[in-house]
A and B are shown apart, each in its own frame.
Chain A
Amino acid sequence: MNPTSPLPPDRHHEHPVEDRGLDVGGHALASRLIVGTGRYESMTQMRLSLDQSGSDCVTVAVRRERLYDASGQNILDFIDSDRYILLPNTAGCFNATDAIRAARLGREILRTLKNPGADWVKLEVLGDSKTLLPDPVETISACRELVADGFKVLCYTSDDPVIARRLKELGAASVMPAGSPIGSGQGLLNPNNLRIILEYLKQGDPDYPVIVDAGVGTASDVSQAFELGADGVLLNTAIAHARDPIRMARAMKHAAIAGREAFLAGRIPRRLYGTASSPVEGVISTRPYGNASR
């Protein structure tokens, strides 16, 4: 290369390269992935997977203590509380009353642990144990009461735009539509509904966080959610039940970065016909069928 010929100016200087993190419920998260802590083969596998995911926020569930088997390991011994903020969930609850009780019990544990996650909850009220689809009526009822009780509610819901809008109006700190049923690995079944949710909830409020929660099967699902404009993705089984969870956790980290960056960069429009990447002028060839553009 001719050393006297200067390189073109670095266009990255014109705007910041770094994306800001995810701000939800007053908590600033460096990573846009929120990962679950369930279904791992061992606590060690979970700990290493969380590490590789790059996440700084992990979900936990509230369950009865095994009263006569106190020797079991506790998950809290395997989660570095300086590194991860805990997001307690109400998973497994099938009505608003139980979900509210679970949320308050989770808050009490996190309060005594002095974990900053004491003021928020992932609200999940299920309607059906086969599909694990959310019950919209009970979810709305629980969301209303938890918001009134001072919770920052991250609300798991279906991909129905009308319910999503209702939950935001009720004061949910984030609406978290499902890509597909929990643990199903089907990815994003209705991207158009997610587009509508993103449009509705961000209208005049572009920073309102919408997090795709549930249904992720593999890394491209995560990228797709971010490319649609989701602010975050919450997943668990796609990592925990992968053949190699630790490697899949790393894949998810890269998928989140790739998808988010692609969204910020702006994809090109889809076109029916090809457009040449190399110059059309000066090519040493004749074209079959004449000039297609005519």
Chain B
Amino acid sequence: MTIRVRVNGNEIELPTAVSIEQMIRLVDIPQNYLAVEVNAIVVPREDHGRHLIDDGDEVEVVTLVGGG
């Protein structure tokens, strides 16, 4: 079984019952320097392991870049 979610604006398919922590690992992002938002709410780093991604979720994975 899979679910479809939108990550950083791109629709991707994920297995069901995937946590944020697992999802970040699946898409090969370095875990450092990241913040994750699900449906416009920030999920604290401490909750990444137990927060499961749902079908249709809008996920944003952000980092810091140069800016003024």
User: A-side interface residues toward B, CB under 8 Å?
Assistant: 36-40, 46, 59-65, 67-68, 70, 74-76, 86, 88-89, 91, 101, 104-109, 111-113, 182-183, 214, 234-237
Contact = CB atoms under 8 A, between A and B. Distances in A.
Interface of B: 7-10, 27-30, 32-35, 37, 40, 42, 44-45, 60-68
A37 B62 contact: no
Given A88-B64, A105-B60, A106-B35, A67 B45 contact: no
A39 B63 contact: no
Contacts of B29: 65, 67, 70
Contacts of A40: 66
A198 B17 CA distance: 55
A63 B61 CA distance: 8
B63 A70 contact: no
Contacts of B65: 38, 60-63, 75
B68 A89 contact: yes
A60 B67 contact: yes
A59 B67 contact: yes
A112 B45 contact: yes
Given A59-B68, A105-B37, A109-B33, A65 B63 contact: yes
B9 A64 contact: yes
B34 to A, nearest CB: 6
